[in-house]
A and B are shown apart, each in its own frame.
Chain A
């Protein structure tokens, strides 16, 4: 079945450092890919998404490119801030764009701590 694999955390960085969180997936068809972020004590927020190969999703300085050839969707940010400290989840939308039977398949999450 479909699955998502994320790099294990925790990741600890200093402010202004470069961030990469790796995400690879296994899927049949052409799923959409997502990054969600969970701040301490809160629910999940959509960070960015990409719906087809070579699409780049971006938001708040974060970027991720849908790479079909490497089945990857790595999250990057050029200069992290303390406020970026959170848990980041990679997910794919099961079954693609077909009807309403859709669920998200999740990675286990990567905790990021940014120190001042």
Chain B
């Protein structure tokens, strides 16, 4: 079974731009979560989607948004990028009712 895939793997943007990251979960997994990883703050939860509905949200500004499609694929969007948004963005999927999350390789975003 294929693992969680994320595209693109690397991205360079400039301040003020927006970016969309994509995540395809493990086949059959309907829950997708997004995390931001930075050296200073570590791993922080962004949001979780289940069956196209946002179920949980972390403490991030409204510039960070996401959505999930009927095939469980998810996208997250960051608008009006700031330098501090430079990070590794990780996506994780899990089975309904299960606790274990499986992570993708991440998208490394650099904001200049």
The reply to whether B55 and A43 form a contact with Cβ atoms under 8 Å apart is no
If A100-B55, A103-B56 touch, does A51 touch B99 (CB 8 Å cutoff)?
A: yes
Contacting residues, chain B, for A46 (C-beta < 8 A): 100-102
| Mask of B91-108 contacts with A, CB within 8 angstroms, 1/0 | 010001101111111100
The reply to whether B50 and A89 form a contact with Cβ atoms under 8 Å apart is no
Contacting residues, chain B, for A109 (C-beta < 8 A): 42-43
Chain B's interface size range is: 20 to 34
Nearest CB on A from B73, distance (A): 17
Contacting residues, chain B, for A104 (C-beta < 8 A): 33, 35, 43, 45, 92, 101
Chain A's interface size range is: 20 to 34
The reply to whether A103 and B48 form a contact with Cβ atoms under 8 Å apart is yes
Contacting residues, chain B, for A43 (C-beta < 8 A): 4, 6, 90, 103-106
Nearest CB on A from B40, distance (A): 9
Contacting residues, chain A, for B44 (C-beta < 8 A): 106
If A43-B106, A46-B100 touch, does A100 touch B58 (CB 8 Å cutoff)?
A: no
The reply to whether B102 and A103 form a contact with Cβ atoms under 8 Å apart is no
The reply to whether A44 and B56 form a contact with Cβ atoms under 8 Å apart is no
Q: A101-B55, A104-B101 are in contact. List 17 more A-B contacts (CB 8 A).
A: A34-B100, A42-B105, A43-B4, A43-B6, A43-B104, A44-B92, A45-B103, A46-B102, A49-B100, A91-B43, A100-B31, A100-B96, A103-B33, A103-B45, A103-B48, A104-B45, A109-B42
